[in-house]
A and B are shown apart, each in its own frame.
Chain A
Amino acid sequence: MQGIPISYFLILGAVLFSLGVIGVVTRRNAIIIFMSVELMLNAVNLTFIAFSNYLGNIEGQMFVFLVMVVAAAEVAVGLAIIVAIYRLRETVHVDEIRLLKW
């Protein structure tokens, strides 16, 4: 990585994170909201690895490991919740699931 300034990677991470935020706020399908969350986690991972490279320190990649584990756990539990909601309500659209909304 001799030629690329770290700013480029940070900008790419910022773009992906913002796209993830738009997805979480605007989409109704709970599965696509989960995918947008994955997008945000990956943007953070990219930033971690960019700084790990910039500082010459392996610890950033260690955090990426932990983030991957958390993402896998989140997807397993989250998709189980979505399947359970679908069996109960026949929908995965978040604006039709308003049991907690008063």
Chain B
Amino acid sequence: MIQLILFSIFAGLAVLGGIMVIAHRNPIYSALFLILTLFALAGEYVLLLAHFIAVVHVAVYAGAIMVLFLFVIMLLNIRTETQAPGAFRYMIYIAIPLAVLLFLELGYLAFQGFSEVTVKANTFGTVESLGNALFSTYVLPFEITSILLLVAMLGALYLSKRKLSEVKE
């Protein structure tokens, strides 16, 4: 019962944050509401017994990615978004019905009658069980992600160091 209450609180916070992310005009408020959503999702992960993932999620998203977002928003001094000219403003009347349709398609799967979740062993989702799988069966994908991070770092460095004003057409 207490879990259902916690789930409802976290789900409400997540959806509220998600709505404010796409509805707020000021990008900084959008970023802060996205942090709220990410924290609420970390709570959902704890309810799903994924404790280690929840901690990593908070550290990586709220600690690194969102700081990067806020840094770029403040660096660029972006003005509050105004109403779009032209046909762009009518996009929302097409987007919302299509998104509702997408939600119904995705939600259809959820109503297919998954039975009640069974009680897991105490070790499910701990660092030990995750580490065992990560460094035995999945050691190759784990190593490949390090190459991906290296390439992303090099790409970001290259993009931000080059003088782009010379290639202006």
CB of A28 within 8 A of CB of B99, answer no
Do the beta carbons of A28 and B88 come within 8 Å of each other?
yes
Whole-angstrom CA separation of A19 from B102 in the bound complex? 10
A93 to chain B, nearest CB (A): 8
- Near B by CB (< 8 A), chain A positions 47-78 give 49-50, 52-54, 56, 58-59, 61-62, 64-66, 68-77
- B110 to A, closest residue via Cβ: A10
Q: Is A22 within 8 A of B96, CB to CB?
A: yes
In residues 3-62 of chain B, which contact A (Cβ within 8 Å)?
A: 3-4, 7, 11, 14-15, 18-19, 21-22, 27, 30-31, 34, 37-38, 41, 44-45, 47-50, 52-53, 56-57, 60-61
Q: A39-B21, A73-B152 are in contact. Are A15 and B15 (CB under 8 A)?
A: yes
Nearest A-chain residue to B71, judged by Cβ: A79
What secondary structure prevails in chain B residues at the interface with A? Answer: helix
CA distance A9 to B133 in the complex (A): 24
Contact across chains for B130 and A58 when beta carbons are under 8 A apart? yes
Please give, as numbers and ranges, the residues of chain A lying within 8 Å of B114 by CB-CB distance. Answer: 5-7, 10, 54
Q: Are B148 and A73 in contact (CB under 8 A)?
A: yes
Q: How far is the CB of B111 from chain A (nearest CB, A)?
A: 7
Task: Check A42 against B37 for contact (C-beta < 8 Å).
Answer: yes
Q: Do A88 and B168 have beta carbons less than 8 Å apart?
A: yes
Identify which of A19, A23, A34 gathers the most chain B CB atoms within 10 Å of its CB: A19
Nearest chain A CB to B163 CB, angstrom units: 9
Contact A20–B91 (Cβ < 8 Å)? no
Contacting residue for A15 out of B103, B148, B164, B169, CB 8 A: B103
Neighbouring B residues of A39 by C-beta, 8 Å: 18, 21-22, 34, 37
Cross-chain contact A4 with B138 (CB below 8 angstroms): no
* Alpha-carbon separation in the docked complex, A92 to B78 (Å): 8
A95 vs B117: C-alpha distance when bound (angstroms): 46
Known: A25-B95, A36-B21, A83-B76. 16 other contacts (CB 8 A): A4-B117, A12-B14, A20-B22, A22-B22, A22-B95, A26-B22, A26-B91, A38-B34, A38-B65, A52-B48, A53-B125, A56-B118, A62-B141, A75-B65, A79-B68, A95-B86
Cβ-closest 7 pairs across A and B? A73-B152, A23-B22, A10-B110, A14-B106, A80-B159, A18-B103, A80-B156
